[in-house]
A = this chain, B = another copy of it.
Amino acid sequence: MEVIQAIKERRSIRKYKPEPVSDEELNIVLEAARWAPSWANTQCWRFIVVRDKEKKVGLSQTLTPQNPSTNAVIDAPLVIVACAEKGRSGYYKGNPATDKGDWFMFDLGLAMQNLCLAAHSIGLGTVHIGAFNAQKAGEILNLPEGTVVVEMTPLGHPLGEVKTPPRKELEELVFYESYGESHKK
């Protein structure tokens, strides 16, 4: 599938068919994440693939109440939990290099967008889930000290159609030379 098409057509999928995801399909989406760029190539991301039903239920219970993705975590054939090693991205000689501190959130965003686009390009659905208790999810997955859960996504074959949430117009999002300056000026 063509890049621009994948970017524009990808939707957040919250309903999945029970149909399994093959090892080959899983490998494609994980490879896509692996090839993302990262701060000084630090690659602070770690991914945990969860297929175990009981564990998926446990993860679903960490989501915020009424989170619209709760059932997706249980119903999808597998869930990919994206974790980060803290203190690597955004650091120079052991100290934060910028006023943003740790850049793990940014690097995880890069990798997970690769993963979601690759999934869509081979007919699989995903949805970025961030609203959950990351501490509890980390306990379920036995994370070591210094590694944290950032987000998770179900992975599977989409069931049904989804609406396209509207986007702001480019005129609202893009300025020229200085904040607030439109192109036409």
Contacts and interface: CB of A to CB of B under 8 A. Distances in A.
Interface of A: 1-4, 6-8, 10, 12, 27-28, 30-37, 39, 41, 43, 45-52, 55, 64, 83, 90, 92, 97-100, 103, 105-110, 112-114, 116-118, 120-121, 128, 130-135, 141-144, 147, 150-151, 165-168, 170, 173-180
A98 to B, nearest CB: 6
Contact of A112 (B97, B110, B142, B179): B110
A83 B128 contact: no
Nearest to A51: B177
Contacts of A51: 176-177
Given A150-B106, A151-B106, A142 B41 contact: no
Given A49-B174, A90-B130, 5 more contacts: A1-B3, A7-B114, A47-B173, A110-B128, A143-B179
Contact of A64 (B97, B103, B118): B97
- Looking at A31, A46, A109, A135, the one whose CB has the most chain B CB atoms below 10 A away is A109
Contact of A113 (B36, B142, B167, B178): B36
A43 B141 contact: no
Given A109-B109, A177-B55, A100 B134 contact: yes
Contact of A165 (B41, B55, B134): B41
A1 B4 CA distance: 8
A46 B98 CA distance: 20
A46 B92 CA distance: 27
Contacts of A47: 173-175
